[in-house]
Structure 1
Amino acid sequence: MSRVQAVDHLVVSVSDFAVSRKFYSGLFDFLGFEIMDEMPEAMGWSNGNTRFWIYQADQEGKKHPYRKGDIGFHHYAWSLNSRKDVDELQAWLERSGAEIADPAGEYYDDYYAVFFLDPDGMKLEGMHYGK
């Protein structure tokens, strides 16, 4: 039987490639990712373990803006090394004007996280298990 080793990559479609490219480029630079590839309407980053891609939505896709609660993507979380890293991510988000959905805090026992939105309102998370 086949066994999954890891999540290799996530791809999201975005409404405005230029706006999302700017947001994700800053975020991934902060998180230590490097650009893997860049095309006119697609871009991918990697940290050696995780790969993340954005693609420009097509005209039909642009008619249906993202809404959390619809069938599909709910949120995506990056595991960070410490609570301090979560706090530093929140500080970066604040400096860059990103919308913070839920500020850094302990959401469950030993689960510390910050939740934020990309330019299309897709929910993202930086989190850490433990103290």
Structure 2
Amino acid sequence: MPKTGTISHVSLSVSDYEAGKKYYSHLLVDILGYKQVAEHPYYTMWALSSGECICISPGNKTPHQKQNPGLHHLAFNVEKKEEIDAAYQKILKFHEDNKSLTGCTILDAPALYPQYGEGYYAVFFTDPDNIKLELAHIPNYH
């Protein structure tokens, strides 16, 4: 039974469902270790063995603006700083191999971000709908 207050799932609407499935499958399965647990015409879901889930579903073609009310960005924890460097290389390769997926951009290469905390190391990038994503290593977080 999940603990009260923990996140059950995050659901994102995407403008191109097939492109979204391709992008999030790469990020979640190939880089972060999720497994795809459902695929339907109206949503696809990936989950970790600990229960956290990410879903995508078809949305409209209105571009995402992080300054608007709603999602600003989505950050994923990474246990080791070196995992971010390896993930960064995989993300670069995926973006290079999939140039037809517009919106995919590296915003900030892996670096220390001391303004967010001691030892905070992260990479920032966008998905095909320009949703800001982050992989972060935060030592002594909990």
TM-score (norm 1): 0.89
Contact 2:63 2:130 in 1 (8 A): no
Contact 2:108 2:125 in 1 (8 A): yes
Q: Within 5 Å, give how 1:75-86 maps onto structure 2.
A: 75-86=73-84
Deviations 1:32-90 (A, max 9, x none): 11011000131000012310000001xxx43x321121111001111111000111111
CA distance in 1, matches of 2:56, 2:35: 14
Instruction: Specify which structure has the higher proportion of strand.
Output: 1
Contact 1:93 1:99 in 2 (8 A): no
CA RMSD of aligned residues (A): 1.6
Which ranges of 4 or more aligned residues in structure 1 deviate by more than 2 Å? none
2:98 paired residue number: none
Deviations 1:64-123 (A, max 9, x none): 321121111001111111000111111110110142111100012210000110100000
Q: 1:99 aligns with which of 81, 105, 110?
A: 105
Aligned pair count? 125
1:55 paired residue number: 57
Q: 1:117 aligns with which of 105, 126, 138?
A: 126
* Amino acid paired to 2:109: P
TM-score (norm 2): 0.82
CA distance in 2, matches of 1:5, 1:91: 34
2:100 paired residue number: none
Shift of 1:130: 2.5
The SS at the match of 2:24 is helix
Percent identity reads 31
CA distance in 2, matches of 1:36, 1:130: 30
Q: Within 5 Å, give how 1:28-67 maps onto structure 2.
A: 28-30=28-30, 31-49=32-50, 50-57=52-59, 61-62=60-61, 64-67=62-65
**Structure 2 gap ranges (5+):** 96-103
Contact 1:34 1:46 in 2 (8 A): yes
CA distance in 1, matches of 2:4, 2:20: 30
